[in-house]
Chains A and B, each alone.
Chain A
Amino acid sequence: MLGWEFPPRITGGLGTACEGLTRGLAKKNTFIHFLMPHLSGEEKAEHMHLYDVQKGHGIHANYSSESFTPEHGKTTRTSTSVSTRITSESATLFYPIPSRLSPYLKPEKKAVQGTLSTLFKRYIKFSHQDSVRPPRYFRSLGIWQGLSQESTSSHIASSLESHYGDKLFEEVRKYCERAVSVSSGLDFDLIHAHDWMTYPAAISIAHLSQKPCVLHVHSIESDRSGDCKNEGISAIEYESLHAADSIIAVSHYTKDKLIEEYGINPDKIKVVHNGVQGRTKIKTARKQDGQFHVLFLGRVTFQKGPDYFIEAALKVLAILPNTHFTLAGDGDMLDQLKLRVKKAKLEKHFFMPGFLKGREVDQAFVDADLYVMPSVSEPFGISALEALYYNVPIIVSRQSGISEVIRHALKADFWDVDELANLMIGALKYPELRRDLLQMATQELKSLDWDHSAENVIQVYQTLVRT
Chain B
Amino acid sequence: MQAVCFYFQVHQPFRIKRVRFADVGKRLPYFDDEKNALILDKVGRKSYLKTNAVLLELIKKYPGKFKVSFSISGVALEQMRLFDPKILKSFQDLVETGSVELLGETYYHSLAALYDESEFCEQVAAHQKVLKQYFSYEPKIFRNTELIYNDAIGRRVAELGFKAIITEGADDILDWRSPNFVYRHPDVDLKILTKNYRLSDDIAFRFSNRGWSDYPLSSEKFAKWVHSTSGLGNTVNLFMDYETFGEHQWEETGIFEFLRYLPDAIFKHQDWSFMTPSEVIEKFQPSAPLSYSRDVSWADLERDTSAWNGNEMQRLALAKVYSISKLVRARNNAAVLKTWRRLLTSDHFYYMCTKFFSDGDVHAYFSPFKSPYEAFLSYMAILEDFSLYLDRKSMRGRLFL
Contacts and interface: CB of A to CB of B under 8 A. Distances in A.
A432 B381 CA distance: 15
Given A411-B370, A418-B20, A418-B22, A433 B313 contact: yes
B22 to A, nearest CB: 7
Given A421-B22, A430-B380, A436 B312 contact: yes
A432 B354 contact: no
Q: What range describes how many residues of B lie at the interface? A: 20 to 34
Contacts of A432: 311-313, 315-316
B376 interface: yes
A436 B354 contact: yes
Nearest to B23: A422
Contact of B377 (A418, A423, A439, A443): A423
25 contacts: A319-B21, A319-B22, A407-B358, A407-B371, A408-B354, A408-B358, A410-B374, A422-B377, A423-B373, A423-B377, A426-B377, A429-B380, A430-B376, A432-B313, A432-B316, A433-B313, A433-B376, A436-B311, A436-B313, A436-B354, A436-B372, A439-B354, A440-B358, A443-B358, A444-B358
A422 B21 contact: yes
Nearest to B24: A319
B357 interface: yes
A144 B360 CA distance: 46
A418 B377 CA distance: 14
A418 B315 CA distance: 27
B373 A433 contact: yes
Contacts of A426: 21, 373, 376-377, 380-381
Contacts of B372: 436
B380 A419 contact: no
A419 B20 contact: yes
Contacts of A410: 371, 373-374
Interface string A395-436: 000000000000110110000001101110110011011011
A326 B213 CA distance: 56
Given A422-B20, A426-B21, A433-B376, A440 B316 contact: no
A435 B376 CA distance: 13
B22 A422 contact: yes
Contacts of B374: 410
> Which of A318, A319, A407 has the largest number of chain B CB atoms within 10 A?
A407
A410 B313 CA distance: 14
Nearest to B358: A407
A444 B358 CA distance: 8
Interface string A36-72: 0000000000000000000000000000000000000
Contacts of A436: 311-313, 354, 372-373
Nearest to B370: A411
Interface in A241-291: none
A5 B377 CA distance: 41
Contacts of A421: 22
Contacts of A435: 312
A24 B316 CA distance: 42
A116 to B, nearest CB: 44
A382 B192 CA distance: 55
Nearest to B364: A407
B2 to A, nearest CB: 45
B348 to A, nearest CB: 15
The 3 closest A-B pairs by CB, nearest first: A432-B312, A426-B377, A422-B20
Interface in A321-376: none
